[in-house]
């Protein structure tokens, strides 16, 4: 696996591969790689001739008072894991490489509508930072395919919309969430949990699973389901930002005709802010 730290080196390596033909898949990450990230790499390997991974803890997607400084960084371990999973190239830039001009970009990518709701309401500016860095990384790597975890479902929706609106020539693939045996979604932020909290944190998955089951069984009072799920999490010691049932396509409130829904939640436990979601497919012809 080649490791490059500068945009110019990245472009030179990619130019060689492009000249030789063959497709390129890209997995952007913030590092501290866990089984969820490695599943993205494995999926990418099956779909393209070359796999590029980036590790960059992007400052523009963290708000003031958020965990930018504390975000877990494990570069040596990440390199080892990526070698084991046969990634072809790791792009490991610093902030000056991604954001020249003293880290002060004048241009940002905004995806209004999708970005201010759900997590965006609690993390103002977060999706602007995500869309901007993902746009820059996609412009640098110019992959055929880019893979993102479905755990960050709102992020995936924002990125799909950006790519569509800006005519970016890349296929975006959402990859199902990888979970701990307890059901807890894999996340770098699980590192903030004590072993007891980590075990308890699976309540978020079990609560969403119960709510999703109620919808599948025909319950249509979504505010009631959301309220019940919120209460269950609060009773379990979580501080809940939201539990919400939306349609998958654009995260709008579902109508009776919508058959592809998602129930999403964000909640705090100890030092960690956790997010999770479950996709729901309904048979609306019944």
Residues that bind ligand PAF (CB under 6 A): 28-30, 58, 61, 130, 133-134, 152, 155
Least distance from C-beta 58 to ligand PAF, angstroms?
Answer: 4
Residue 207 or 277 having the CB closest to ligand PAF: 277
Residue 126 or 200 having the CB closest to ligand PAF: 126
Helix (H, G, I), strand (E, B) or coil at 164: helix
Distance between CA 72 and CA 63 in Å, rounded? 17
Run of H or E residues at 259: none
Least distance from C-beta 9 to ligand PAF, angstroms?
Answer: 20
Residue 61 or 244 having the CB closest to ligand PAF: 61
Least distance from C-beta 133 to ligand PAF, angstroms?
Answer: 5
- Annotated catalytic, 34? no
User: % helix / strand / coil in the chain, to the nearest 5?
Assistant: 40, 20, 40
Least distance from C-beta 151 to ligand PAF, angstroms?
Answer: 9
* Beta-bridge mates of residue 26: 52, 146
Please name which of 98, 151, 104, 159 lies closest in space to residue 128, comparing C-alpha atoms: 159
Q: Do residues 266 and 273 touch, judged by C-beta distance below 8 A?
A: yes
Query: 34, 37, 85, 126: which one is catalytic?
Result: 37
Residue 160 or 200 having the CB closest to ligand PAF: 160
User: What's the farthest any 2 CA atoms get from each other in the chain?
Assistant: 58
Provide the annotated active-site residues: 37
């Amino acid at each position: 696996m080649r490791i490059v730290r500068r945009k110019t080196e990245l472009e030179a390596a990619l130019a060689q591969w492009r000249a030789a033909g063959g497709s390129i898949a890209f997995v952007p990450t913030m590092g501290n790689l866990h089984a969820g990230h490695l599943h993205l790499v494995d999926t990418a390997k099956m779909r393209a001739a070359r796999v590029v991974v980036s590790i960059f803890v992007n400052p523009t997607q963290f708000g003031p008072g958020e965990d930018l400084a504390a975000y877990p960084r494990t570069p040596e371990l990440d390199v080892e894991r990526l070698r084991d999973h046969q990634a072809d190239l790791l792009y490991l830039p610093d902030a000056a490489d991604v954001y020249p001009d003293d880290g002060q970009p004048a241009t940002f990518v905004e995806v209004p509508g999708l970005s201010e709701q759900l997590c965006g309401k609690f993390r103002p500016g977060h999706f602007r930072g995500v869309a901007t860095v993902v746009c820059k990384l996609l412009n640098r790597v110019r992959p055929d395919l880019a893979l993102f975890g479905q755990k960050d479902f709102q992020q995936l929706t924002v990125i799909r919309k950006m790519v569509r609106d800006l005519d970016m020539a890349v296929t975006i693939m959402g990859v199902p969430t990888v979970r701990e045996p307890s059901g807890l979604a894999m996340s770098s932020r699980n590192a903030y949990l004590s072993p007891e909290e980590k075990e308890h944190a699976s309540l978020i998955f079990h609560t969403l699973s119960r709510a999703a089951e109620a919808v599948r069984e025909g319950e249509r009072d979504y505010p009631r389901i959301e309220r019940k799920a919120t209460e269950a999490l609060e009773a379990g010691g979580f501080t809940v930002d939201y539990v919400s049932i939306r349609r998958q396509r654009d995260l709008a409130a579902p109508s009776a005709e919508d058959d592809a829904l998602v129930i999403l939640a964000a909640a705090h436990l100890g030092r960690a802010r956790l997010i999770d979601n479950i996709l729901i497919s309904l048979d609306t012809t019944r």
